Chain A
Amino acid sequence: MAQHSILVVEDEHTLRRLLEYRLSKLYRVRTAANGEEALERVKEELPDLVVSDIMMPRMDGFALQAELQKQRETRAIPFIFLTAKADESSRLKGRRTGVDDYITKPFDIDALLTRIERLLERTALFQTQLDARIGQDFSKKLMPKALPTVEGYSSHFFNNPKEHGGGDLFDWTEPEPGTYYITIGDVMGKGLQAKFYAFSFLGYVRSTLHGMLRETRSPALLMQRVNQVLMDDPTMEETFASLLLVRWEPAKNELTYANAGHCRPLIVSPSKAEVVPYSDIILGLDPMAEFTDTTLQLSPECAFVTYTDGLLEQEMEGGAQLGEGGLMDLIPGVYREAQPIDRMLEQILAKSTLPEFADDILVFWLERQALRERQAPRWFSPFSDQADRKV
């Protein structure tokens, strides 16, 4: 985790430098000489905690605290007052405006450090609990409740979102009977922020899909539109995402996809795994980016397998990451299993240096089953190909 940032507000030069010096051994410290300057610093970057003098020229500590109370994003920043005024009246005034702590000059620097640490811990604990609750909620919304059920196909899905994991997402829709759009992606970043952006991003993808399907069925054109929308929205400025958009038409056994920098899918059979190679640039970087559709036929007893990068980044014996190659070596071996994804993950963990996956894992396995006719005892059927030929 990044170092906590502390804003020291003190008009007296020597004390300000001393505090900066002592605190910077533990925290990232910025300083201001009065309340006005402090507000400037806060505008540049929100501190995790403020240590402020009370008596200062221009804007005093009370006024500064009152200003911070007005804004939603600064209201919860813990605040410690340093003051020479040991008298009861300012103490009471401080309490009334919601000060978190109060230290009287001359003070012991170790006492100040203890209080800072305690306040930061309390804030972090509160934040963690809140994040966990919201994060779980988002994770649920980023994943499907059910999978498509289509005659002749079977599908499997596995997802293991971590509290401090990233913004993996998966979605599918059947906007017209027999045509499915499958979305798998990863919004960059970690923790709640990534999940939040992933949630907003998935909203964009869904609405683009539904809004544009009257004009086009091309995943590449849909992708281009999603990229533009993402780049035009200032609130999504810091959002970058890899995305694989697949149109699946089971009646034709056809998959058409566009890939924006996402992990390359695999075509897996009981004997081998092949990479589906073509992909284009990740979303959110280039407003003029163009994407390309690739169509492939899924043969009987073949599976289209997609996943997110947490799988490939797992550290294996010897220190290297699993990688695309490692996955391809292992995956045909689990093809005939009833729960192929579970078996695959077990096998990866068996050869990993870690007892569990370090990152979020998301895998979608879409398998075309073997043709029914071949399993039936054909010689009894008067309507089979062989029977026709004999006649």
Chain B
Amino acid sequence: MQVTSMNFTVESWNQQTVVVHVGKALDFRNASDFKAACQEQVRAGVRNFVLDFSETGILDSTGLGSIFSLYRQVSPLDGQVVFAAVSRPVQVVVQLTRTYKVFRQFPSLDAAREAVK
């Protein structure tokens, strides 16, 4: 099975907050692009990242690593990284690594928007 869409999109909610629609996969193939895109946002002043995993079928350890880098970058700046609409495959990885202790999860983007703003 080939994953055709490797894309993620960044949507701005306000000056400090963006939502990243992660798309079908975040793995070794696009993790460095993801990292670069997030770094650009941080440079532009964004502190809060809502990651939308509603469509995500693949999250491997390289992809997860890029999310961790983002977390370590924004947490000293009082920023946060939260997960929204976490799909089953992503949930498995989050459970395995016990990272739910660090990343707050919300059932939907709306719920995340309420909490983060």
B interface secondary structure, majority: helix
Inter-subunit contact A237/B98 (CB<8 Å): no
Among B28, B30, B33, B97, point to the contact of A242 (Cβ < 8 A).
Answer: B97
- The bracket for how many chain A residues form the interface is 20 to 34
Most buried by B among A166, A189, A280: A189
Closest to B89 in A: A321
- 9-residue interface stretch from B17-25, B68-76, B105-113: B68-76
Interface segment, one of A126-134, A153-161, A219-227, A281-289: A281-289
A321 to B27, CA, bound (A): 15
B26: interface (CB < 8 Å): no
Mark out the residues of chain A between 197 and 250 whose CB falls within 8 Å of any chain B CB in the assembled complex: 237-238, 240, 242
Which residues of A in the span 166-182 have a Cβ within 8 Å of any Cβ on B?
Answer: 166
Min CB–CB distance B69 → chain A (angstroms): 6
- Taking a contact as CB atoms under 8 Å apart, the answer to whether B62 and A166 are in contact is yes
Q: How far is the CA of A188 from the CA of B36 in the complex (A)?
A: 17
- One of A242, A319, A323 near B92 (C-beta < 8 A): A323
Contact A285 B68 (CB under 8 A): yes
> Does B61 lie at the interface of the complex (its beta carbon under 8 Å from any beta carbon of A)?
yes
Residues in A whose Cβ lies below 8 Å from that of B96: 261, 263-264, 279, 309
CB distance from A59 to the nearest CB of B (A): 23
In the complex, which residues of chain A have a beta carbon less than 8 angstroms from the beta carbon of B68?
A: 188, 240, 282, 284-285
| Beta-carbon contact of B62 and A189 below 8 Å | yes
Q: Which of A286, A313, A319 contacts B60 (CB 8 A)?
A: A313
User: Quick one: given A285-B71, A319-B1, are A261 and B61 in contact (CB under 8 Å)?
Assistant: no
A11 contacts the other chain (Cβ, under 8 Å)?
no
- Residues from chain B with a CB closer than 8 A to the CB of A166 are 61-62
With a cutoff of 8 Å between Cβ atoms, the chain A residues found around residue B60 in the complex are 309, 313
On chain B, the residues within 8 Å of A319 by CB distance are 1
> Are A261 and B97 within 8 A (Cβ)?
yes
A260 nearest CB neighbor, chain B only: B98
Chain A residue with minimal CB distance to B64?
Answer: A188
- Are A238 and B33 touching (Cβ within 8 A)? no
Contact B62 A190 (CB under 8 A): yes
Produce 1/0 per residue, A314-342, CB < 8 A to B.
01000101010000000000000000000
* Given A281-B102, A282-B98: A190 touches B71 (CB 8 Å cut-off): no
CB of B104 within 8 Å of the partner chain: no
User: Could you tell me the distance in whole angstroms from the C-beta of B45 to the nearest C-beta in chain A?
Assistant: 16
- Chain A residue nearest in CB terms to B65: A188
Measured in the bound complex, the distance between the Cα atoms of B42 and A1 in whole Å is 23
Contact A280 B98 (CB under 8 A): yes
A353 beta carbon closer than 8 Å to chain B: yes
> Please, how many angstroms separate the alpha-carbon atoms of A264 and B97 in the complex?
10
Contact status of A1 and B72, CB under 8 A, knowing A240-B65, A285-B99: no
Contacts of B99 in A (CB 8 A): 261, 281-282, 285
Question: Do A189 and B65 have beta carbons less than 8 Å apart?
Answer: yes
Residue A367 is within 8 A (CB to CB) of chain B in the complex: no
Query: With a CB–CB cut-off of 8 A, which chain A residues contact B29?
Result: 1
Residue of A nearest to B39 (CB): A45
Q: Would A2 and B97 be within 8 Å (CB), given that A188-B68, A189-B61, A285-B71 are in contact?
A: no
CA distance A284 to B62 in the complex (A): 14
Does A186 belong to the interface (CB within 8 Å)? yes
In the complex, chain B residues whose CB is within 8 Å of the CB of A280:
98
Query: Given the known A-B contacts A282-B97, A286-B102, A315-B1, are A2 and B33 also in contact in the complex, defined by CB atoms under 8 Å?
Result: yes
Nearest 9 interchain pairs by C-beta: A188-B65, A261-B97, A190-B28, A281-B98, A282-B97, A2-B32, A188-B61, A240-B68, A190-B62
Give me 27 A-to-B residue pairs in the complex whose CB atoms sit less than 8 angstroms apart, sorted by A's number: A2-B30, A2-B33, A28-B36, A45-B36, A186-B61, A188-B61, A188-B68, A189-B28, A189-B61, A194-B62, A238-B69, A240-B64, A261-B96, A261-B99, A263-B96, A281-B98, A281-B99, A282-B97, A284-B68, A285-B72, A285-B99, A286-B101, A286-B102, A309-B60, A313-B60, A315-B1, A319-B1
